[in-house]
Amino acid sequence: MKKTFVFITTVLATVLFSNYSFAQSADEELVTVYRWYNPEAKNYVTLADGQYQEGQLLNWGWKNKTPLFYAYRNPSEGRVAVNGWYNPVTNDYVSVAEDEFTDDQMIKMGYKDKKVQFYALTRRGSNTVAVYRWKLDKQKDWVTIPEEGDTDTYLKKGYRHKTFQFFGISRDVDAGVYSQL
């Protein structure tokens, strides 16, 4: 009887721990993607949560932290790496999916400091949002906007050249449920 009790307890503990580990790893897999604005430089940057400390960004003059969508921290099938690039001549930051431009093309446009930011979905699914990049030619500034964003505001500011990039996970409060996409 004692062996049976120990066996059942061990099996239950194993099942509960494995379910907890799966749920925890699924939640940790998602990362919030934000857009920040620098009023002095008049440009935007798209960053994954934890890419920089918030205090650093505020100290560097970035303001108006706006959540855009969720993405993934790690690569997997059906995901594309999204890289952050910086152009020191135009003081521009851009997030580019790995299949949009080659590294050579980005370097020829004056960008450097390539860093993987997050991994986005390549196909639309439930609770996904299409993500576009818009360009402001006069300042050579790019901004990342999910389809649910206020695109009229950016049109009024002169942004054009809307380009589809990838799919993000919608900012709904229950987005953790969709981490199995």
DSSP letter string, 42-111:
TEEEEEETTSS-HHHHHHTT-EEEEEEEEEESS--TTEEEEEEEEETTTTEEEEEETTTS-HHHHHHTT-
Q: Is the pLDDT of residue 69 over 80?
A: yes
Q: Which residue has the higher pLDDT, 144 or 121?
A: 121
pLDDT of residue 121: 93
Question: Which of the two residues, 7 and 155, has the higher pLDDT score?
Answer: 155
What are the extents of the domains in the chain?
Answer: 31-180
Threshold 0.85, pTM exceeds = no
Tokens 């790690």 sit on residue = 74
- With 70 as the cut, is the pLDDT of residue 5 above it? no
Question: Which tens digits make up the pLDDT trace of 84-116?
Answer: 999 998 888 999 999 889 999 999 999 999 999
Q: Residue 143 — pLDDT band, cuts 50, 70, 90?
A: confident
Helix (H) or strand (E) holding 117: strand 112-121
Find which of 2-11, 16-25, 57-66 is predicted with most confidence, using mean pLDDT.
Answer: 57-66
How confident is the model at residue 2, as a pLDDT? Answer: 57
Per-residue confidence (pLDDT) for residue 125, from 0 to 100: 85
Which has more confidence, 151 or 124?
124
pLDDT greater than 60 at residue 23: no
State the DSSP string of 134-171: EEETTTTEEEEEETTS-HHHHHHTT-EEEEEEEEEE--
pLDDT at 7: 47
What phi, psi does 177 have (nearest 5°)?
-65, -30
